[in-house]
Structure 1
């Protein structure tokens, strides 16, 4: 007992020596200093640790409105003083977006930041392809994010052997009709109108929730399949810690302003990021839907960022449709992670997937960034009972981005491991 008491007494000076944040001040160019301090997640009176201090710095960099950021700290007897020197600017970036494959798609966008001196970002996008068009707008300010989008599709829904169906989309550039004519079973003409609104609220540095009402209407020729209203409401809870804002060229530069000196520096040590999200989607008479719809989705990701800024990421996802007509079934293209190019998909009541990518920066200098991102992704969809259908691909994306001009260019290649097809796409603009 005496030894235990002696141990506790010895710990008192150690516990008492924990440093706290005494005072935080800021010097800015456009925004009010208090606006910046509101976005700095380390607060006065909180315990000062090197890890949380670096995370708070990185979160400011992710706002993409600072040309330079400098952090100065001074240790005092009663804590640590922090002073932030920020050269915040405003920007308006027009940008083109084009994808070329067997089919072509493109669009234009306008992205702005810090126009109202709140560290906010906003964007508008209008684009289309051979199957339709879409328009989107978004605003992120403080802990609040808003999104609205409209999509119209005019497409042929084609069916193939072994459960494969065509995967229509505004920016779908692969043509399944010519590639898989030998296994073609039939098709039906369809139209889709989709109007989406979304609101996300962050409650801490890592936790946020969102609500997404969506109006969706399908019109199939002769009223076949599931013509009618498919409106739903989705709710999600997300945990995200140190996830980089983009998995390829956006990983260091992103859209907006960047502290070039900071981004080109090697990290003092490897760091990690993680993401977890659960979402529930429901529809019925109460949403105006002609069908009962219930779906559950769970997503996860883990990322390693090495000292030279190369990125290794692993992904996992699971989805289940408890009630869903054909157009709302789980899609293998949704289970995959957007890294590959595919012309068909599988649909079913549920599914799981996993993927991995490695972003290697071949060139990283004051002019721009050249990266190569090989990837592998695999999904399977349950099609009834214990049967399932796989959907997997392997490929790579090579892309280059100038620092001060948001126009990345790149080429992407994907091999579908299930049917052996190859797809090559050229991209210009947009975020990789």
Structure 2
């Protein structure tokens, strides 16, 4: 394959989010102001009171001892922790935030690079603060190390333009669904199949005659409220009324009521949390924010079948019986077929004489068509026009370019087999590894 175009990369930019106060350990911290991880809220609380704020988010991190200039990155709960602090009446309360969350909203023409939100530490009015920052690739795939010049200034929160939803991980919950599980005290007429008790579902259908059927999640083991079941620990059923009571049919395909918020996509397997009252709800995690950057691709020219070429007419061609399809001289094609004892072939038919290196494609300057040529039992040759040909182009792992114009596919004239031949070509996009 021949390289047509090097991969085009995006530009690395930093997108800024909120500024959070940082709480660090202190040996003199009053117990009411101490967080579970040992960080002290006294300086944070003083700042909140000075601003008249009653709620705020606080960051703590083992690496915060490095002070201004330190960048905190890594998984929540290990590299750092977030707390939502409330000052409303009495002692302050710090509720831990269990999932990554931020105020970073990436511009719509930028992509995530695989890194989440980092926290860049700085000093402001003597207080250690953490600025949310996310590295993104704007305009294309993530560039390799050393590509491009110095980074441009960060993209601030208030700069104009459309943005993706804030970068965060959220829990998505489905609507409550009926639960069936193994029970030692199950009435015989409710043990419909698979050792599962459908008593609660049967009672629901009996109480609601307007329902024709009921969606049921079956647990493969006994459960209590609060238990979480994986998809492999469940079976999905449709509970229906029958002529002699009730019946439960397995679903051919699992049904889900989960819907991620706009700008988010599920990032974890779906599981089921058992509720009181023989109910269960689906749950999963969803990642919100900018989509992943597309993979970098380079454009190559891939090649396929080679076929003989007909170039206009020649003197004496008709007398030899080799002028076919009107005024096209097939002498070179027929000679090529005879020399190789080929009874049938495809040929490219051009409107005149052209040199090797010329390209023939739809919408180009050269008029052309294709023909199928074959030898008759009496040794004469015949041809029919074709609208297409067998290109036989193979480019493993690459995809055909569909928006590169007419020049992206066609035939190129080459010197081969003692004459001018046509070789099929196609531009393809190949991932850069």
Bin the TM-score by the shorter chain: under 0.3
Q: Which has the higher contact order (CA 8 A, sep 6+)?
A: 2
What is the TM-score when the length of structure 2 is the normalising length?
0.18
| The structure with more strand, counted as a fraction of residues | 1
Between structure 1 and structure 2, the one with the greater Rg is: 2
What is the TM-score when the length of structure 1 is the normalising length?
0.18
| The structure with more helix, counted as a fraction of residues | 1
